[in-house]
Amino acid sequence: MRQRGTATLHYDWNETLPSVAVVEAIATAEDRDPAEIGRAPGSTLYGSIDPDALDRLVRSAKGISVSLVAFGYRIQIEGNDLRVEGCEG
C-alpha cells in the first residue's frame, strides 16, 4: 500500500480550478503523476464532492475555508492555500 503523505500548496484560484488543485496536491503528496490519481474504480472526486460546486464555492468567496475527505486524504482549503494530509478510512 502506498504511504499517504502531506502537501501544502498555494494557488491563484483565478488561474487554477480548485478541483484540479486537489488532484495536483494529492499527486504531490504521493509523488505521483496527477493523471494516475483516481484511476482505481470508485476513486473519483465526484465520489466525495461535486467538483463544479467546489470550483464555484472557492472562486466566489475570499478567505473561504472548505474541508472534505477524498482519496483517503483530509483536504483543507484556507484562502489560497490547499493542504492535503493522509488519513485512514
Q: By the 8 A CB rule, do 59 and 14 touch?
A: yes
Instruction: List Cβ neighbours of 37 (8 Å cut-off, separation of 6 or more).
Output: 23, 26, 27, 30, 43, 71
**Structural domains in the chain (count):** 1
Task: Label residue 6 by pLDDT band (50, 70, 90).
Answer: confident
Domain membership of residue 23 (yes or no) is yes
The one-letter amino acid code at 34 reads P
Domain membership of residue 31 (yes or no) is yes
Q: By the 8 A CB rule, do 70 and 49 touch?
A: yes
The pairing of beta strand 81-86 with beta strand 73-78: antiparallel
Domain membership of residue 50 (yes or no) is yes
Domain membership of residue 70 (yes or no) is yes
Decide if pLDDT at 46 tops 90. Answer: no
- More confident of the two residues 37 and 67: 67
Domain membership of residue 1 (yes or no) is no
> Which pLDDT score is estimated for 3?
55
Expressed as residue numbers, the domain containing 54 is 6-86
